Structure 1
Amino acid sequence: MSYQARFKVWRGDADGGGLVDYEVAVHEGEVVLDIIHRLQATAAPDLAVRWNCKAGKCGSCSAEINGRPRLMCMTRMSVFDPAETVTVTPMRTFPVTRDLVTDVSYNYVKAREVPSFVPPARLKPGEYRMRQEDVGRIQEFRKCIECFLCQNTCHVVRDHEENKTNFAGPRFLMRVAELDMHPLDAADEAGVDRRQGAREDHGLGYCNITKCCTEVCPEHIKITDNALIPLKERVVDRSYDPLVWLGSKIRRRKE
């Protein structure tokens, strides 16, 4: 079934802009990105949009559709009533470059601030061994496609621009949690305290676990329940549980 849909698409750049009305054909089985491409081919050849795989795996086509952060390539037109006006706007948390394209460089800055995996000195490449339960625990987080929808919807930076300096956001706190759970990560031996870093360098305390990041994740990663809350618990234990604190001191002294 084909029909004519009403779209409102944000057009503009860093200096400002607004919603522009379009009427465009929709065919059965199409997604929002198909419609944006049809607009480019017919009514708006200069419309800027970022996309790549069109299969929900590259994370490029993130936008806000009727106010909800989504991937345009994974949002089917069938979820909307044909009489409904579909509004497409750029991600609100990041500066607009042009039209639906935003400057997400904040995320790459935060990515570089997370210390990478530290190989264990006692093992050579090819000698790494892990139990399947340990692999399963962290494998979920490796599904992240870095669409940055979780970063976009997190109100800590969405509503408070000033927090960007001190807050890594859910995607990169999840990365810290993943490395902290990794049984072969030798960060402590290299003098890298991931839990202290999460608290002091990456702003873990800013997160108040509203689960909005989990709700918009296209890979259905349980960011809050499986990464952020356990990380918070380990940080609290390290900082405030007297037995854990004493044990860490004794262990360091023995070393």
Structure 2
Amino acid sequence: MGYKAQFRVWRGADDAGELVDYVVEVNEGEVVLDIIHRLQATQAPDLAVRWNCKAGKCGSCSAEINGMPRLLCMTRMSTFAEDEVITVTPMRTFPVIRDLVTDVSFNYTKAREVQSFTPPADLKPGEYRMQQVDVERSQEFRKCIECFLCQNTCHVIRDHEENKEAFSGPRFLMRVAELEMHPLDTADRRDVAQDEHGLGMCNITKCCTEVCPEHIKITDNALIPMKERVAGRRYDPVVWLGNKLFKRNKA
């Protein structure tokens, strides 16, 4: 059985806009993206929304629903009461282009700053050999669909615009961790994670993990292990003494 739902949708650009109320028909089994499409077809043909696969695999339709960062295509209408007002707004951390579409170019800038996979110099393409046990830890991170919901909810950049230059966010710290754990990657990424990507600014509140649609344990399996590796490098007294002796002998 269908019913009429009350929607409140952000309309406008980054410098000016407002929440506009709509009443839209809902049918059984639909998701929020279905309702946004119906709204475009029946009442607001100029409503801007980014989407592609409608299957939770492209990460395009990221937005905030009742204040929670979510994928429009993976949020079922059955999770809301029929008389509930559903508020749909763009991701708050990024500049609004128009309506529900945000400028996520910050993330691509940060992606380019991550040093690429660095295999052994004498290893030729086609000669890579790894056991499954060697890649199990980092394989989880490959499920990322780059919806940037973790970036959006991370309060280090969500609430502090000034941190964006120094902090890459959970998605790209996870990428650094993935490469650091890769059995064939030869680059030492511990100092880079701390000094260039701002790992120390993360205070492991797990808000990134909570909104991940792929259920990646970003905090427990990527960020905390990287913090442990950095701490082992910089603050372990045995390592500290070894570095001092090595530098003295080298001098």
TM range (shorter): over 0.9
Any idea what SS the aligned residue of 1:140 has?
Answer: helix
Q: What pairs up with 1:126-145 in 2 under 5 angstroms?
A: 126-145=126-145
Find the aligned partners of 2:210 and 2:156 in 1 and give their Cα distance. 16
Find the aligned partners of 1:183 and 1:25 in 2 and give their Cα distance. 52
Percent pairwise identity: 79
Shift of 1:245: 4.0
- Could you tell me which amino acid in structure 1 is paired with residue 143 of structure 2? K
Q: Kindly indicate whether residue 203 of structure 2 is the aligned counterpart of residue 208 of structure 1.
A: yes
Shift of 1:249: 7.6
Shift of 1:130: 1.4
Find the aligned partners of 1:18 and 1:71 in 2 and give their Cα distance. 21
- Corresponding residue for 2:75? 75
Aligned-pair RMSD on alpha carbons?
1.6
Find the aligned partners of 1:112 and 1:121 in 2 and give their Cα distance. 22
Count of residue pairs brought into register by the alignment: 249
Q: What pairs up with 1:234-253 in 2 under 5 angstroms?
A: 234-246=229-241
Deviation by residue 1:229-253 (Cα, 9 ceiling, x = unmatched): 0000000110111223455688999
- Corresponding residue for 1:190? none
Shift of 1:80: 0.3
Find the aligned partners of 1:123 and 1:104 in 2 and give their Cα distance. 36
Q: Kindly indicate whether residue 201 of structure 2 is the aligned counterpart of residue 229 of structure 1.
A: no
Deviation by residue 1:112-151 (Cα, 9 ceiling, x = unmatched): 0110101211322122111211211111000000000000
- Corresponding residue for 2:98? 98
Deviation by residue 1:39-98 (Cα, 9 ceiling, x = unmatched): 000000000000000000000000000000000000000000001010000000000000
Q: Kindly indicate whether residue 120 of structure 2 is the aligned counterpart of residue 120 of structure 1.
A: yes
Find the aligned partners of 2:11 and 2:142 in 1 and give their Cα distance. 34
Runs of 4 or more consecutive aligned structure 1 residues displaced over 6 Å after TM superposition: 248-254
- Give unmatched runs, 5+ long, in structure 1: 188-192
Find the aligned partners of 1:4 and 1:95 in 2 and give their Cα distance. 31
Find the aligned partners of 2:169 and 2:225 in 1 and give their Cα distance. 16
- Corresponding residue for 1:24? 24
Find the aligned partners of 2:126 and 2:165 in 1 and give their Cα distance. 39
Any idea what SS the aligned residue of 2:164 has?
Answer: helix
